[in-house]
Amino acid sequence: MPRDLNVGYPLRKPSFSARLMSHLQSQIETVPRKGISYEPVNFDDLIHPNCRWAWDDIAARNKLHKYAKHVRSSQSFAVNLFGGLPDSGIRAILVSFFGPIDTIEKPILEYEDNKDRLRETVMSGQQTQVDVLLRGTRANGEKVALLVEVKLTETDFGKCSGDGDINNDAQHLCSTPGPFGSDPVNCFKLRNGGGKERRTYDHYIPVMSLPWNDTFDSCWYRSTAYQPMRNVALAAMLEKEEGIETVVAVCAPLLHREMWSHFQKACGVLPRGSLWPLPAELVLALHDDATYQFLSERYFLDVSGPLETHDELELATWSIIESFDRLFDHHLFIVETHPGGGQYDCITLADRDHGYPRSVVDLNRNGRIHIHNGIDMTSLDDGWERAINGQADSVATDIGLVLELQKRRTEHQPVSRTYRRVIELGRRAGESLRWRIDENAVLEHHGESLKLVAHQLERNGSQYVDVNLPSIVFASRYR
């Protein structure tokens, strides 16, 4: 780990925001405005062509932010990150949260409820807008929706405007711990500042039944948990009024530890399971090669230090699997195994040709790579060394030859590429990550349709024991 990286807390100076701004200005020629350079000379330097439709759609609906063209704009970041996602990427994200999905819809950016069922515009207030809405339908017709709040360099989620409002006749509640100052009836914001109708946040969120939390010494939604609370209320409204299973996720770079610290605080004062992490690296990894290259170079800083052994092996594991999937036609599925009473740490490629799961290839990170072909076993003594040194294709080729597999006739971009990319991107952010594969999960065939169901992206290493963030960076909600 880099010595200057304070894991789990804001980066030591310069901050993540300052580092990213310096990085962006070194990449993009900008137009000076009032002495500050922020708007790109060439618009294509800001928005990738694959994502331009999303920008144009937001502009047509008059939803562009005032500083949307700022090189550090989170709205531009959201357009790039989600506007160019292929259908397979949208499906993978939805499957992660909701299980098998039959059909998907085009993303909506800057979504808001046209019926204003949260009653936010009664006194000309600003309606809750969600940065990205991903939608899908199960085979039985049930609809699902993922509401995504995207952050790039913001230092928190923002605060409630009722705090400090000169018209607030219940200012003392802003300083009282609990949801809405423990008095939703008299909360100035919920009363819409004395308007004819109340806001309905507390109608859709059972705030008074939430377990007590000492994170905040004032109203729980006075500061950084205010925006997440509104998003969760919007999601709960859609679920109750329209029968849509809905989840809220926060999407930000892993390196932005200050934002993830605020995320953790917000989780503590909202219904359990209503707010989930969606690291931007995971979304980025689902893109096609051209968009992936553009975005990874543009937004994702590299603070990596020398690789630890377990990081080298994790990256090598997924490099081998990606190469194997890309080179060969096969029907093997993937599972995490720990044979030898737990002394071995394997990612295993297996089949069910004999009516039961059977190990075919064991990528043992505590030893060698073993290939089982009938009653024979072949070991690749130098397999890990070659893969670590960038020769994963040769290792995968050896595996395919032993198993007598046919090579693919056409170019193939396997799902496992996403897994390898995420490990690489995590390393760039100073994170030691590993994929944990649920051994009891119902597994898809790895060669064609491996999804993120029951797979977890976990922080790995003793440095995370006392970190003020969950050890599971991303976990499938659908178990």
- Each of the 479 residues of the chain gets a pLDDT tens digit; together they read 333 333 444 455 678 888 898 898 888 888 876 656 678 888 888 899 999 999 999 999 999 998 888 888 999 999 999 999 999 999 989 988 888 899 999 999 999 999 999 999 877 668 999 999 999 999 999 999 999 999 999 989 999 999 988 999 999 999 999 999 999 999 999 999 877 899 999 999 998 888 898 888 999 999 999 999 999 999 999 999 999 999 999 999 988 988 988 998 999 999 988 999 999 999 999 999 999 999 999 999 988 878 788 889 999 999 999 999 999 999 888 888 888 877 888 999 988 887 777 889 999 999 999 999 888 899 999 999 999 999 999 999 999 999 999 999 887 788 889 999 999 998 898 888 888 876 554 433 333 333 334 567 887 765 555 444 556 666 555 43
| φ, ψ for residue 359, nearest 5 deg | -70, 130
Q: How many CB atoms lie within 10 A of CB 406?
A: 9
pLDDT at 305: 77
Query: Which of 389, 396, 386 lies closest to 307 in space, CA to CA?
Result: 389
- Most distant CA pair in the chain, distance: 81
pLDDT at 462: 56
pLDDT at 215: 83
> In a 10 Å sphere around its CB, with 0-12 CB exposed, 13-18 middle and 19+ buried, how is residue 371 labelled?
buried
32 - beta bridge partners?
Answer: 37
Angle at 128 between CA 125 and CA 130, to 5 degrees: 155
> In a 10 Å sphere around its CB, with 0-12 CB exposed, 13-18 middle and 19+ buried, how is residue 151 labelled?
buried
The model carries a pTM of 0.88
| CA–CA distance, 318 with 328 (Å, rounded to integer) | 15
Q: Is 220 within 8 Å of 177 (Cβ atoms)?
A: yes
Query: Which of 138, 120, 140 lies closest to 128 in space, CA to CA?
Result: 120
Query: Which of 322, 257, 317, 260 lies closest to 285 in space, CA to CA?
Result: 322
Q: SS3 for 241?
A: helix
Which residue carries 């069910």 as its tokens?
A: 352
Instruction: Give CA separation, 30 vs 14, 18, 34, 73, in Å.
Output: 22, 17, 12, 14
> In a 10 Å sphere around its CB, with 0-12 CB exposed, 13-18 middle and 19+ buried, how is residue 88 labelled?
middle
> In a 10 Å sphere around its CB, with 0-12 CB exposed, 13-18 middle and 19+ buried, how is residue 142 labelled?
middle
Q: Is 227 within 8 Å of 145 (Cβ atoms)?
A: no
pLDDT at 36: 62
pLDDT at 382: 96
| CA–CA distance, 479 with 475 (Å, rounded to integer) | 9
